Amino acid sequence: MVNIPLNVYVAYFEKGILNFGYVIAQNNNRLEVINETGNYVVLPESRIILQSKERYLEIEPYQALPNFINQVNLFEEQFQESDFHFLKEKECTLQEIATELNLQTDVQIFALFKYLHNHPKEIHRKKNKYRLKTPEEITQYQLQLQQEEEERQFLQDVNAFFSGAELSRESQHKLYNALPELQTAKKHKKLKELILSKYPLLKPEEAILEFRKFCGETPEYIDPVIANAGIPIGFSSLLIEEKLLPWKATKPQAIAFSIDDESTKDFDDAISITKDGSFWHLTLYVSSVSERLNLEGALFAEAKKRVSSLYTANAVIPLFPFNHSEQELSLKKDSVRPVLALNLWLDENLAIQHYELSRMNITISENYSFNEIDQQIEQEPFSTLYRLSKLLAEKRGANSFSEKEHYYYYISASEQGLEVKCVDTQSPARKIVEELMILYNSYLADYAVKKNIPVIYRNINQFEDPKDNFLSLQAYLSTEPEFHPGIGANAYLHSTSPIRRYVDLINQLQISAILQGKNPPFSKEELEKDIPLLEKRIYDIREIAHKSERYWVLKFLQQNCQNIPLETYFRTSIDDYLNFELIPWGFIITAKSESYPKTERCKIVIYKVDPEQGIVWVDII
């Protein structure tokens, strides 16, 4: 609206609130307006959304304006909802509505505009045209109002929290859900503004991280790679206190043991093996996490968001809160737990003759470490299990490996500091667990194919370059089974770690439902819809874990290896950076140096380390 004359009444919005005013002066397309509080405001003409048709030469406009507004309010009260039924059939402008209702005076037109503005529940406005809302639109508007009120109350609670008040369980849960997204998505704008206002001297990313620590969602000991990655870390009280579903605690049908790393606390699989004449009965058990979860509950939604547990040098960021993952769901020694069991019958040559899946309860007799089993490998039943694992590996062509694959090293934090730990991937105990878990996954995939159960398979793409004779393998998720070259099976899936991986949990849910005579909770189409997001999150977690590992390697070097000659292999150079592999650990570091290595194998001396940038400075000797 342009060329607004003096001495007219106008309507304009100020911070979303409808205001009326009276124009007393104009200068360069800017209007001086007296408002209903008697104050003067200067507005560009574009801010005016309605003006009176007549001019009012008011001697004392600050007194006349309230009188005009009172007349508008009185006339507005005369409108009835039934007056606007014609707007159900068509869209109309303000003037068209006024004509339909035979409204002519400025007071009537202003009252009409105010009524239309004050009834957004029933009246839809777009591009200065109005119509009555549909029942669906009214319901949506009411839901929006409810959400806005909840958001207002939530922000009020968070603001009070800064001053020492306690958050309700619901507000804390909502806050914990929102905080990671502040780092990765353009969401929760008002919450972000509130947090930044409390830390005016910090950069936005620093302020958000500081608040995540302040409210307890991110513990101080979490490394900066994880803390800045924008992934959920802590669990709200609502999640920690959510009750798991009860399970039918019948008499245990078997006694089993687990084999895992000595530091493991979340045991999700177990084994039992007995001999019956010349036959062996081998059963593999996986904690029945799916039986204990409410699919409409917050825990299940959180697991889908997290996708996978994350293990770092000094912390575990689990899929479920520790009181669930390390207690109620874990196959701990002396506990009775529900499991999804794979029963296998083997002949005297350990060839598998038959299999069955079943749900049952078991007692856990022992949580063995890999080292403990390695020391008892000549004893039964471990010697038979080791013999079986070698036969299974041979059958799928997995007995050949390079010396580099034999060991891998990782950084672990303890009270004594950081240390390098070595894992023998070919130790008897690890081969037993590896082959038996592959067996479990293979047979569950076979069962899903035969029963036409919608599950998430793990397939492999192979890319071969005939010139370089190079074979590249890339895993991907699909609801359609394909031959898995690494396993040698026509179908393969993951289902042995439902405490640690969401995909394993989904597959267990689907198969367990069939065993109970129920329909699977998710259709094939629903799983297909989720796969792209799951793959992205799995990839992100893998990248974050890799960067965290590199951070802790540099922290270890900073604490233990500066100014000491180190054996390395020179790998590549990119721009001004050199990549070295540290012998014998295999850790890859990115370095800057004033010289260039003359041979592939060389010694370096680290004299400066920046773990957060991921760079070391070295002399080549």
DSSP states of 574-594? ETTEEEEEETTT--EEEEE-S
Tokens of 435: 């082959």
Examine residue 249 and state whether it is found in any structural domain, yes or no: no
Instruction: Provide the whole-model pTM.
Output: 0.86
Six token digits for residue 322 = 């520790």
- Domain match, 275 and 376 both: yes
Asked if 570 and 599 touch (Cβ cutoff 8 Å), the reply is yes
| pLDDT at position 531 over 60 | yes
Of 443, 411, 429, 354, which is closest to residue 554 (Cα–Cα)? 411
pLDDT digits (tens, 9 = 90+) for 266-317: 999 999 999 988 899 999 999 999 999 999 999 999 999 999 999 999 999 9
For the chain, the distance separating the N- and C-terminal CA atoms, rounded to the nearest angstrom, is 77
**Rounded CA gap, 619 and 98, in Å?**
84
Mean pLDDT for the stretch of residues 395-407: 73
Residue 543 domain-assigned (yes or no): no
Distances (CA, A) of 342 to 385, 386, 438, 496: 15, 18, 12, 11
Dist CA 259 CA 271 (whole Å): 8
Of 80, 114, 133, the residue at which a domain comes to its end is: 133
Q: How far apart are CA 83 and CA 57, in angstroms?
A: 33
Which residue matches tokens 């604490």? 559
Query: Looking at 168-172, 358-362, 403-407, 408-412, which range is the least confident one?
Result: 403-407
* 263 and 230 co-located in one domain: no
Tokens for 546, please give them: 């890799």
Q: Is residue 286 part of a domain?
A: yes
Lowest mean pLDDT among 192-201, 397-406, 451-460: 397-406
The mean per-residue pLDDT over the stretch 510-538 comes to 97
Task: Among 211, 241, 271, give the residue marking a domain's end.
Answer: 241
Which tokens sit at 324? 């669930």
Same domain, 514 and 615: no
Mean model confidence pLDDT for the chain:
94
Residue 2 lies in a domain: no
Task: State the Cα–Cα distance between residues 188 and 175, nearest whole angstrom.
Answer: 10
Domain presence at residue 534: no
Q: Are residues 454 and 555 in the same domain?
A: no
For residues 302 and 421, membership in a common domain is answered with: yes
Q: What contacts 50, CB < 8 A, 6 or more positions away? A: 10, 11, 94, 109, 110, 113
357-397 tens-digit pLDDT: 999 999 999 999 999 999 999 999 999 999 999 999 999 88
Give the integer Cα–Cα distance in Å for 399 and 395: 9
Range of the domain at 224: 136-241
Sign of CA dihedral 352, 358, 359, 362: negative
Is 599 found in the same domain as 578? yes
Measure the CA angle with vertex 300, ends 299 and 301; round to 5°.
90
Model confidence at 466, pLDDT cuts 50, 70, 90, reads low
Nearest CA to 369 out of 281, 506, 263 is that of: 263
Within a domain: residue 392? Answer: yes
Tell me: do 515 and 556 sit in the same domain.
no
Domain count, the chain: 4
pLDDT bucket at 470, cuts 50 / 70 / 90 = low
Residue 59 near residue 32, CB atoms below 8 Å = no
Residue 179, helix vs strand vs coil: helix
Q: Do 185 and 39 reside in the same domain of the chain?
A: no
Q: Quote the CA–CA distance of 87 and 178 in Å, as a whole number.
A: 40
Encode 68-130 in three state secondary structure: HHHHHHHHHCCCCHHHHHHHHCCCEEHHHHHHHCCCCCHHHHHHHHHHHHHCCCCEEEECCEE
- The Cα–Cα gap between 431 and 433 comes to 6
One domain, residues 182 and 101: no
Residue 400, pLDDT above cutoff 90: no
Same domain flag for 465 and 496: yes
Residue 399 and residue 488 share a domain: yes
pLDDT of 1: 44
Is the pLDDT confidence value at 28 over 90? no
pLDDT at 549: 97
Final residue belonging to a domain, choices 241, 272, 290: 241
Is the predicted pLDDT of residue 35 greater than 50, yes or no? Answer: yes
Q: Is residue 595 part of a domain?
A: yes
Tell me the pLDDT tens digit for each residue of 418-435.
999 999 999 999 999 999
Specify whether 264 is located in the same domain as 125.
Answer: no
For residue 461, name the pLDDT band (cuts at 50, 70, 90). confident
| Within a domain: 259 | yes
- For the cut 90, the answer to whether the pLDDT of residue 237 exceeds it is yes
One-letter amino acid of 258: S
The CATH number of the domain holding residue 604 is 2.40.50.140
